[in-house]
Amino acid sequence: MRDRTYSILARLRPTIGALTCVLAAAACSPDHLLRVQDPDVANPGTVAGKDKLPTQLAGVIGDFALGVDGSSGSEGLVNLTGLLTDEFSFTETFPTRIVIDERRMTTSNVTLTPIFFNIERARASGDRASDAYNQFDPQNAGHSQVLSMTGYAELMMAEAYCSGVPFSTLNADGTLSGNDPLTTEQALTIAVAHFDSAITVAQAAGDADLESLARVGKARTLVDLGRNNLATADTVVASVPDDFEFLIHHSSNTGREYNGEWEYIWNEGRWSQADVEGTNGLDFRSANDPRTPFTDLGRGFATGTRLFGPNQYADRADNTVLASGIEARLIQAEAALEAGNTAGWLADLNALRSGSGLGLAPLADPGTADSRVNLTFRERAFWLYATGHRLGDLRRLSRSLARGGYGRDPESVFPTGTYIYRGKPQGTYGTDVNFPIPIEEGNNPLSQGCIDRDP
């Protein structure tokens, strides 16, 4: 598999000047010991110029990885969207997380605050870096990657949050500028523009991998915008190779670089790979599908819970797939189904299965329009498990026909009914289908909270 390696520069390394002073304490003034340079903060002026563009790119990569996958100290969107959907189940005690699994969130939920700000920071970091590339080296391949990271941050926010997210920018003079609260469709439209620019720059730079990254991102965004865009999305990803894969890389160097899925499941036992959660949930364990292998890790963080770890995140340095040829083919399969090409749809799905080397048996046509949609989204769920796609898919299924969705009742799609915790009934699921904007964002004059909580 080909991939574009992320080198996440989590922080600058401290100098040894302070240590030297300590060792020579007799020659150092005590007040000098307190005047330590902060190596974790780089003023904007210190990273300006063409030679500093790689540093800006590294910053975007690090911020994006934190926002999407989390770290040893913070969850990411993959963690929490998996918990809100049927991918992960709750195995700990924190009340601010159990309400996410229960689909009962408020704007004052403190667990949601850093998640929102981390992905917003990734988006803003990408915007700043793109401005620098435009000024110093606009056709550099790194510019394409920055544009795609920005587009993916916007896309994922549109998939995860209610309508009303602002894309604002902190200016050098301390003022804020940017977009007013955006509808989901408006946010997705902005992401499409960033992916278009990323494709153009990648083509100019001759970087096929970065072009594929942007193409998959654009097609995913178009599909979110409505089923009427599926034919266009099909064309956009037609050139993406089957074996393409772009990874968010992690490492064991620092806690900030750990894979957050590993941290909160394997290391801390706070949530588990789910199985048939809330009646509607898919059989991610009981299907014994080789695409979602797991390990029984025994008791979870909370007494009376059972912990199952997804094998794809069994190490703190395991990577997450951001975009792939598999996703491109799944988009094309859905486009064929939308066009009424049932034979092509089934052939696309079976080509993925037969070419995987996993021993997956071929699928048969289930025979009805609804069951074909069910099968399409089931295949997407297993191929794209725990990579941040599931919430967007459940929202598409729940979105009205008028807005380009499949028009299904959310309670026939999301986990629903009696909520089970520690093996016992604990009330019922709520009705959330996305995340609210945290109350702290009210400090942003461009934010007005959620416009609506619709799919």
At residue 10, the pLDDT reads 35
**Whether 162 contacts 453, CB under 8 Å:** yes
pTM: 0.90
At residue 46, the pLDDT reads 63
pLDDT tens digits for range 20-64: 333 344 444 444 444 445 555 555 556 678 999 999 999 999 999
DSSP 103: T
- Alpha-carbon distance of 376 to 373, in angstroms, equals 5
Residue 107: partners with Cβ closer than 8 Å, 6 or more residues away:
436, 437, 438, 439, 449
pLDDT tens digits for range 369-383: 999 999 999 999 999
Domains of the chain: 54-443 (1.25.40.390)
- Alpha-carbon distance of 221 to 155, in angstroms, equals 6
Whether residue 15 is predicted with pLDDT greater than 60 in this model: the reply is no
Average pLDDT for 177-197: 92
Closest CA to 230 of 434, 405, 374: 405
Beta strand pairing call for 306-310 and 294-299: antiparallel
- Alpha-carbon distance of 302 to 19, in angstroms, equals 43
At residue 6, the pLDDT reads 38
